């Protein structure tokens, strides 16, 4: 019998120990603790040491999720790694993670959906559960954003951090728990608002592309900001409506952590009680594919994620990619 729903059965997170504070950034670029706190909501972010890659963060987060579930890596059927900072263009980071975890007879792949990649990967993994093809899928969001940030560009370097989170997906034995619905959209017309132009097949790395800083993140912050508030709100309203729910039915709102003002503007438009809004951007910054599992962990630590809770998740990222997910927390 194929299951009716997939559920998240375990969660693990990892951030590298080294902190980059707003004070540190004040000595690197023309910025201030006050500007970053007021305009973005970040106090500090974690940064990986040289030589530490996305796979290293992913493996640490995965080990915690597997330990919480009480299973060995070899018991999962597939590994999906959501990332825009793969260790290298190929092989995919999922292969590197598989090898480091010592997971035998497993397949996997990377998913590039920028800040929406974790939600996208959760849905892709859930489909394998729903078809009955797999019993356990490990989904990891991991990014070492510091590897693609220009630390002389104040418009981007204050925003991003490094981090990872992992979940185990399984069939839900109780039909009232687990994934309820999702809505995903992409809008490629926004591609020029947030991108890294160098290093791909269009602009392979050369001395010239490096001189032109094409190997770094480029962002039109205001364009992304406006799209994020409008589109996140739209998809969240749509997913609630089509499931016969309203803001008061949401126990926890777990959004991508790109900017505190984006999160609060979305929550306000949705009419959500601020108590239900999970925010940890102050501690981690924007970790791209890591933000949502890190925020799930924060919600749990704050006692805001309990079995049966209705959880609304939302994300917007480069692409543009945008997504909303509804689930009932299953454990």
Please identify, using beta-carbon distances, which residue of 123 and 315 lies nearer to ligand UT7. 315
CA atoms of 304 and 290, how far apart (whole Å): 19
Q: Which of 184, 167, 204 is nearest to 69 (CA)?
A: 167
In the complex, the smallest distance separating the C-beta of residue 20 from ligand UT7, rounded to whole angstroms, is: 13
The reply to whether 309 belongs to the active site is: no
In the complex, the smallest distance separating the C-beta of residue 3 from ligand UT7, rounded to whole angstroms, is: 32
Please identify, using beta-carbon distances, which residue of 38 and 173 lies nearer to ligand UT7. 38
Q: Name the site residues for ligand UT7 (rule: CB under 6 A).
A: 31, 35, 39-40, 115, 154-155, 158-159, 194, 221-222, 224-225, 228, 258-259, 262, 286, 316-317
CA atoms of 158 and 259, how far apart (whole Å): 11
Please identify, using beta-carbon distances, which residue of 19 and 180 lies nearer to ligand UT7. 19
* CB-based closest residue to ligand UT7: 221
In the complex, the smallest distance separating the C-beta of residue 209 from ligand UT7, rounded to whole angstroms, is: 22
CA atoms of 193 and 304, how far apart (whole Å): 34
What values do phi and psi take at 291, rounded to 5? Answer: -65, -40
Point out the catalytic residue in the list 92, 95, 115, 236.
115
Half-sphere exposure of residue 151, counting CA atoms within 13 Å on the CB side?
Answer: 12
230, 231, 257, 292 from 242: Cα distances, Å: 18, 16, 25, 23
Please identify, using beta-carbon distances, which residue of 258 and 311 lies nearer to ligand UT7. 258
Point out the catalytic residue in the list 236, 256, 280, 297.
256
In the complex, the smallest distance separating the C-beta of residue 219 from ligand UT7, rounded to whole angstroms, is: 6
DSSP state, residue 4: S
CA atoms of 80 and 74, how far apart (whole Å): 14
Please identify, using beta-carbon distances, which residue of 98 and 219 lies nearer to ligand UT7. 219
Q: What angle do CA 136, 140, 145 make, to 5 degrees?
A: 175
In the complex, the smallest distance separating the C-beta of residue 92 from ligand UT7, rounded to whole angstroms, is: 22
The reply to whether 286 belongs to the active site is: yes
Q: What angle do CA 321, 325, 326 make, to 5 degrees?
A: 165
CA atoms of 9 and 6, how far apart (whole Å): 9
The reply to whether 203 belongs to the active site is: no
- Hey, which residues are catalytic here? 115, 256, 286
């Amino acid at each position: 019998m194929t299951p009716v729903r997939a559920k998240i059965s375990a969660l693990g997170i990892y951030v590298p120990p080294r902190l980059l504070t707003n004070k540190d950034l004040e000595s690197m670029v023309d910025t201030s603790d006050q500007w970053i706190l007021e305009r973005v909501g970040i106090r500090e972010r974690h940064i990986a040491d040289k030589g530490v890659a996305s796979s290293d963060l992913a493996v640490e987060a995965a080990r915690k999720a597997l330990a919480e579930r009480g299973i060995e890596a070899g018991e999962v059927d597939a590994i999906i790694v959501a990332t825009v900072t793969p260790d290298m263009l190929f092989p995919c980071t999922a292969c590197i993670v598989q090898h480091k975890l010592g997971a035998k007879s497993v397949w996997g792949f990377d998913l590039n959906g920028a800040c929406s990649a974790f939600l996208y990967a959760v849905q892709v993994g859930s489909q394998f559960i729903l078809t009955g093809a797999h019993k356990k899928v490990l989904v990891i969001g991991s990014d070492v954003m510091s590897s693609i940030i220009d630390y002389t560009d104040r418009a981007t370097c204050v925003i991003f951090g490094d981090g990872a989170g992992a979940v185990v997906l399984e069939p839900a034995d109780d039909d009232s728990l687990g994934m309820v619905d999702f809505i995903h959209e992409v809008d490629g017309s926004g591609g020029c608002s947030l991108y890294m132009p160098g290093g791909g097949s269009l602009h392979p790395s050369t001395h010239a592309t490096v001189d032109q800083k094409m190997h770094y993140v480029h962002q039109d912050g205001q364009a992304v900001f406006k799209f994020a508030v409008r589109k996140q709100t739209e998809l969240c309203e749509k997913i609630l409506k089509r499931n016969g729910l309203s803001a008061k039915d949401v126990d926890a709102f777990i959004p991508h952590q790109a900017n505190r003002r984006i999160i609060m503007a979305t929550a306000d438009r949705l009419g959500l009680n601020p108590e239900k809004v999970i925010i940890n951007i102050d501690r981690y910054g924007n970790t791209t594919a890591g933000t949502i599992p890190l925020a799930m962990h924060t919600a749990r630590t704050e006692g805001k994620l309990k079995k049966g809770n209705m959880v609304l998740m939302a994300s917007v990222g480069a692409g543009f990619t945008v997504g909303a997910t509804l689930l009932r927390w299953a454990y």
